[in-house]
Amino acid sequence: MNVVERFLGYVKMYTTSCEDSEKTPSTERQFALADKLVKELKEAGVADAARDDKCYVYGHIPATEGCEKAPAIGFIAHMDTAPDFSGEGVNPRIIENYDGTDITLGTSGRVLSNKDFPHLKTLKGKSLIVTDGKTLLGGDDKAGCAEIVAAAEELIKSGAPHGRICIGFTPDEEIGRGADFFSVEKFGAKYAYTVDGGPVNQVEFETFNAAKAIFEINGFNVHPGSAKDIMINAQLVAMEIDANLPKGETPRDTEGYEGFYHLCHMQGDVEKASLYYIIRDHDAEKFALRKAMVQTIARKMNAKYGEGTVKVTVTDQYRNMAEVIRENFHLITNATEVIKEQDLCPETEPVRGGTDGSRLSFMGLPCPNLGTGTYAMHGPYEHTCIEEMETSVKIILGIIGKYAKN
């Protein structure tokens, strides 16, 4: 079974995680893919592949003779898909020899266009896997899952020299819990890579510092006919809170190393309202100032409308893994050398997000991120390039070879 066949099987499985659930995994449906991955790893020759009761999958390939002293290298991907858009009933379509024009996505009325996605012109002549416009694809991160299993199978079949190889698949990455019950000790690698990125020539080791901020607003509801100087409309206070945030610091307005405040969802009426934000910045000092800003706004609202009107809860989610990776920069050097060997120009752009590696790096497992060939993640325009998936397998094998030699 090749990497594409594996991928097409994985994306048809409904594995969306759920932030409202307190269980691990957050959705029982993730177990089905975990069990499938265990089965395929065993068929590929990973004899000890298994999943635990929290839906984490682990497997190991012993070092070949003479490479026992090579550092154990790991590769990790996540099984869940983002709850941002439907992941149920995925109907993938392969477009061979893509001609570079806009792509109509089934009967959904959606179009994957060059205007919205200028990178499409770089994929001309390649084969793409797209959605029918009614679901996301699941390339994030089932492409990574397929590439790791395919690389494991090829490595074992080839007999190429290698140190101990550690494989891991996690649930609930998309809701920030992928590392919650990951056992670094059981995994057993000294260093690892998540295979969870975009273009296959990218190696990512700088992520956002991340937090969430939840505003809870208590209004005061009286008859509007006699509300003068009495009513506090929680919805209007919510609007005022958002208006007090710095202008031009939303995801739409920022790029590169620029941070943002992102209003993910809101709800309410006159009596009560709530706002859910995520706060992101690569720079630790600027990140601290952003968190302080939302606290300042809450105090300002309480001073205006009365103590207890607004409560804000700020919770850290992950840190910029660059702090750890810079001390282990051979991970980036080796990956970029292998990418060059594939006649590609390596890029090390900052991640405008996070991966399991963000947390794992601070758990003692330095863990930058490799590309999977997936674009426009988390929505109906998501698409994966077949040639880049195949190249990802070669990059994984090339990295393994580097550490075997060194």
Domains assigned to the chain: 3-206+320-405 (3.40.630.10), 209-318 (3.30.70.360)
User: 173 an active-site residue?
Assistant: yes
Residue 258, C-beta contacts closer than 8 angstroms, at least 6 positions apart: 249
pLDDT at 109: 96
- Whether 168 and 120 have beta carbons less than 8 Å apart is answered as no
pLDDT at 176: 87
Give residue-wise pLDDT tens across range 137-171: 999 999 999 999 999 999 999 999 999 999 999 99
pLDDT at 110: 98
Q: Is the pLDDT of residue 177 over 90?
A: yes
Q: Is the pLDDT of residue 360 over 90?
A: yes
> Could you tell me whether strands 191-197 and 73-78 are parallel, antiparallel, or unpaired per DSSP bridges?
parallel
Residue 190, C-beta contacts closer than 8 angstroms, at least 6 positions apart: 71, 72, 73
Rounded mean pLDDT, 202-228:
95
pLDDT at 277: 98
Give residue-wise pLDDT tens across range 23-72: 999 999 999 999 999 999 999 999 999 999 999 999 999 999 999 999 99
Q: Is the pLDDT of residue 406 over 80?
A: no
Q: What is the 3-state secondary structure (H, E, C) of the chain?
A: CCHHHHHHHHHCCCCECCCCCCCCCCCCCHHHHHHHHHHHHHHHCCCCCEECCCCCEEEEECCCCCCCCCCCEEEEEECCECCCCCCCCCCCEEECCCCCCCEEECCCCEEECCCCCHHHHHHCCCCEEECCCCCCCCHHHHHHHHHHHHHHHHHHHHCCCCCCEEEEEECCHHHCCCCCCCCHHHHCCCEEEEEEECCCCEEECCCCEEEEEEEEEECECCCHHHCCCCCECHHHHHHHHHHHCCCCCCHHHCCCCCCEEEEEEEEECCCEEEEEEEEEECCHHHHHHHHHHHHHHHHHHHHHHCCCCEEEEEEEEECCCHHHHHHHCHHHHHHHHHHHHCCCCCECCCCCCCCHHHHHHHHCCCCCEEECCEECCCCCCCEEEHHHHHHHHHHHHHHHHHHHHC
- Which of the following is catalytic: 40, 141, 147, 173? 173
**Of 215, 212, 237, 235, nearest in space to 301 by CA:** 237
- Which of the following is catalytic: 80, 153, 206, 281? 80
pLDDT at 350: 87
Rounded mean pLDDT, 190-205:
96
pLDDT at 354: 78
User: 307 an active-site residue?
Assistant: no
pLDDT at 351: 85
Give residue-wise pLDDT tens across range 299-339: 999 999 999 999 999 999 999 999 999 999 999 999 999 99
pLDDT at 353: 81
Give residue-wise pLDDT tens across range 109-123: 999 999 999 999 999
Q: How confident is the model at residue 385 (pLDDT cuts 50, 70, 90)?
A: very high
Distance from C-alpha of 327 to C-alpha of 322, rounded to nearest angstrom:
9
274-308 per-residue burial string, b: 16 or more CB within 10 A, e: under 16? ebebbbbbbeeeebeebbebbeebbeebeeebeee
Rounded mean pLDDT, 229-243:
97
pLDDT at 386: 98
pLDDT at 249: 97
